[in-house]
Structure 1
Amino acid sequence: MAKADTIRDIEAANGQKVPDTLNQKQLDELLALAKRDGAEQRDAFDGKLNEFQGKGSGKAAPKEKTVTVRVNDAIAAYGGEFTDPGTREVIGKEPTEVPLSPFVREKLRSEELIEAD
C-alpha cells in the first residue's frame, strides 16, 4: 500500500491526522491501531504516534487540567447525568473531578454543568 493511501486510511479510521514524515512500517503499525475501537485503543494509537514523532522521550506527560463539576440543580432534580464521550467519566449530582475536555467545556458554557465548590 502506498504511503499516501495508508495516511488516508488512518484518517478515515479514526479521524486522526498523521504526518507524512513517518515511514511505511510506522504507518502500517498506526493503521492497525487506528482500526480498533475503544478509548484504550485510541490511547495506544496516540502513544505510538507520539513515540514515532519523538515526543515520547521518557518525560512524564504534562498533567491534563482538571475541574470539579456536577450537573445543574434542574438536571440533578430529575436524576440526570452526562457521560463524557472522550474520557467515559460519568458526571451526576455529586461533584466529580474530570479532565477539562471539549465536552466538559461545552456543558459548562451551556450551564448544564456547574463548577462544584
Structure 2
Amino acid sequence: MAVEFEDGNGGHRVLFSKRAQMNGDTWHTDRIDVGGKGQALNSYTLTAVDVDRATDAMLTSTVVDMAFSTAETRDPGADIWRISYAGYPSGVKPVAQVSVTRAEDDDRSCNDTRAGNKKRQGQ
C-alpha cells in the first residue's frame, strides 16, 4: 500500500506504507497512517500497488539509519514510511486507488488517534 500526497513545494510524493494481505484476487489492510499533527484538511491518495520481486526486496530490506537522531533504527522494512519518492519506481504498478481527506476538526496525529481509541476501549 502506498500513500500519495503533495509536499510543501506543491510536488507529488509517494511513500510505501505497509504490505496488504492477499487472498486470491482480493487484498486487505488496516490502519494506514495519513498525515500527522497540523495536517487537517490535507488530501491523500491510498493506492494498492503490485510490485515486482526486485522492488519488494528493496522495500523490505530498507533500513533507515537514525544514528544522528533520537529515534531508534528499526529492523529492515519497519521504517519504510520514513522515506518518500517523487514517483513510483519502475517495478511498481498501481492497481486501485481511493482519495481521503483529513477531518477539519481533528488535528491529532494518527498515532494520537490510535492511542486515544485504545484508551477508550480499555486496552
Fold equivalence (TM over 0.5): no
Greater helix fraction, Structure 1 or Structure 2: 1
With normalisation by structure 2, the TM-score equals 0.28
Whichever of the two has the greater Rg, that structure is 1
Greater strand fraction, Structure 1 or Structure 2: 2
With normalisation by structure 1, the TM-score equals 0.29
